[in-house]
């Protein structure tokens, strides 16, 4: 009369996609952050203005209630940095009692013994901490804060001491690519796996400063080779390349047989998952600014249905679907739009990356 997690998640993902139920929700509670990483896709430069535009605790809680009624089970709370919101405890304590499987994303630097102890009592399913380097020097270069390194490690230690399920991940850019092995070793000392985000998208607001800091296609392919070699040398899979590593999204990845080949979204976006930006817009995923709907103005269910409709109008990129390098490429409408300004135009960066991957693998 009961089922294992694997069977359950597979069935939930399949059924929710078929029925277009919003099983997975991601709430970007704030755009503000205490760090200032050049590659961040949110990156609010004017934090005071951003704070004014933020949605209230009451609005987020109300939205969660509506999403619960619509079938949301998995909820990610992210930012910006969630712990920068003074009312985060108010929001979290309400959501934690509703009946979701909750994941928190944080940079870990604002975790104090008091916060860790509070989370230990009202535990989320998991907390994913982003590590930006293996030294103070790298943290200074990536996030503008040397102290951030020590604070992140302390945050991880405090959370682990509370018995919380912690995952560590990193985003690799030019400024921390040389730290990859050290970060993997550091994470291993905690007994954890390092998830690696190796693709940095241009920001969804069209601002392109990250192009100076992200790895070139050649550097990305060679990083992937380094990761593979590290895992072989270490006889482990403690480091892994991933585009996003949340528990359910991994299940979604394994469920790719559910996707229609003619669907430009080879993922759960607007099929069973959605993202709410810190300003309160519903979008298909974190990378996308459009299509968008307004759940706080029009109601959750109306917005979800509108999002499904709008996403069904997104065209397939013909040259990508016919490309012989598609096996080496992880293109999607979000990446294409951010890279080229069009859903139908192949991206030079992604094409080059696919070519480099093929070359490295030969």
Partner 1 sequence: MKVKQGFLLREIADSWVVVPVGQRVVEFNGLMSLSESGALLWKRLEQEVTDDKELINLLTGNYEVEEEIARLDVIEFISNITEKGFLEV
Over the range 228-243, which residues count as b (16 or more CB within 10 Å of their CB) and which as e? eebbeeeeeebbebbb
Mask for 192-211, x = binds partner 1 (CB under 8 A): --------------------
8 near partner 1, judged by CB under 8 A: yes
Contacts of residue 133, Cβ cutoff 8 Å, sequence gap at least 6 = 139, 141, 142, 149, 175, 176, 179, 183
In the bound state with partner 1, the residue whose beta carbon lies nearer, of 70 and 323, is: 70
Residue from 27, 41, 60, 100 binding partner 1 (CB under 8 A): 100
Return the SS3 of 166: strand
Total residues contacting partner 1 by CB under 8 A comes to: 29
191 near partner 1, judged by CB under 8 A: no
Query: Which of 95-103, 127-135, 336-344, 351-359 is the region at the interface with partner 1 (rule: CB under 8 A)?
Result: 95-103
Q: Do residues 225 and 62 make contact, with C-beta atoms less than 8 angstroms apart?
A: no
Beta bridge partners, 126, equal 103
Beta-carbon neighbour count of residue 297 at 10 Å?
10
25 near partner 1, judged by CB under 8 A: no
Residues numbered 42-71 forming contacts with partner 1, rule: CB under 8 A = 71
Mask for 106-125, x = binds partner 1 (CB under 8 A): --------------xxxxxx
Residue from 61, 96, 301, 310 binding partner 1 (CB under 8 A): 96
Q: How many residues does the chain have?
A: 362
Q: Do residues 87 and 59 make contact, with C-beta atoms less than 8 angstroms apart?
A: no
CB of 97 to partner 1, least distance (A): 5
In the bound state with partner 1, the residue whose beta carbon lies nearer, of 138 and 272, is: 272
Residues numbered 138-177 forming contacts with partner 1, rule: CB under 8 A = 163, 165
d(CA 111, CA 88): 13
Report in angstroms the alpha-carbon separations of 250 from 28, 49, 246, 327, 358.
20, 35, 6, 19, 24
In the bound state with partner 1, the residue whose beta carbon lies nearer, of 50 and 67, is: 67
Q: Are strands 282-283 and 166-171 parallel, antiparallel or unpaired?
A: unpaired
19 near partner 1, judged by CB under 8 A: yes
CB of 115 to partner 1, least distance (A): 16
d(CA 272, CA 112): 35
Q: Do residues 109 and 35 make contact, with C-beta atoms less than 8 angstroms apart?
A: yes
CB of 188 to partner 1, least distance (A): 22
In the bound state with partner 1, the residue whose beta carbon lies nearer, of 27 and 100, is: 100
In the bound state with partner 1, the residue whose beta carbon lies nearer, of 11 and 58, is: 11
d(CA 121, CA 274): 28
Residue from 3, 112, 137, 209 binding partner 1 (CB under 8 A): 3
**Residues at the interface with partner 1 (CB under 8 A):** 1-3, 5, 7-8, 11-12, 15-16, 19, 21, 23, 71, 73, 96-101, 120-125, 163, 165
């Amino acid at each position: 009369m009961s089922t294992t997690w694997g069977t359950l998640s597979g069935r939930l993902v399949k059924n929710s996609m078929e029925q277009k139920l919003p099983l997975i929700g991601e709430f970007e509670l704030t755009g503000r952050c205490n760090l200032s990483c050049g590659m961040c896709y949110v990156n609010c430069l004017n934090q005071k203005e951003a704070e004014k535009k933020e949605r209230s605790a009451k609005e987020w809680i109300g939205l969660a209630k509506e999403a619960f009624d619509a079938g949301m089970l998995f909820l990610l709370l992210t930012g910006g940095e969630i712990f920068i919101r003074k009312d985060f405890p108010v929001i979290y304590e309400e959501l934690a009692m509703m009946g979701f499987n909750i994941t928190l994303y944080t940079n870990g630097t604002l975790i104090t013994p008091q916060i860790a102890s509070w989370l230990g009592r009202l535990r989320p399913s998991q907390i994913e901490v982003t590590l930006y380097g293996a030294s103070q020097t790298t943290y200074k270069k990536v996030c503008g804060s040397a102290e951030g390194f020590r604070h992140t490690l302390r945050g991880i230690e405090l959370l682990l001491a509370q018995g919380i399920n912690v995952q560590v991940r990193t985003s690799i850019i030019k400024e921390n690519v040389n730290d990859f092995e050290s970060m993997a070793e550091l994470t291993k000392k905690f007994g954890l796996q390092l998830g690696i985000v190796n693709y940095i998208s241009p920001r969804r607001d069209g601002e392109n400063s990250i192009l100076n800091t992200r790895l070139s296609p050649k550097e990305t392919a060679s990083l992937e080779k380094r990761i593979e070699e590290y895992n072989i040398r270490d006889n482990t899979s403690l480091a892994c390349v991933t585009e996003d590593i949340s528990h359910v999204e991994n299940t979604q990845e394994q469920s790719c047989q559910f996707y229609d080949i003619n669907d430009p979204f080879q993922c759960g976006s607007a099929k069973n998952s959605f993202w709410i930006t810190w300003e309160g817009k519903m979008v298909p995923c974190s990378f996308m600014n459009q299509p968008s709907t307004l759940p706080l103005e029009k109601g959750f269910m109306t917005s979800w249905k509108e999002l499904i409709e709008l996403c069904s109008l997104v065209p397939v990129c013909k040259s990508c679907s016919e490309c012989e390098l598609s096996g080496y490429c992880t293109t999607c409408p979000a990446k294409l739009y951010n890279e080229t300004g069009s859903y139908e135009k192949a991206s030079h960066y992604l094409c080059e990356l696919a070519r480099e991957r093929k070359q490295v693998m030969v």
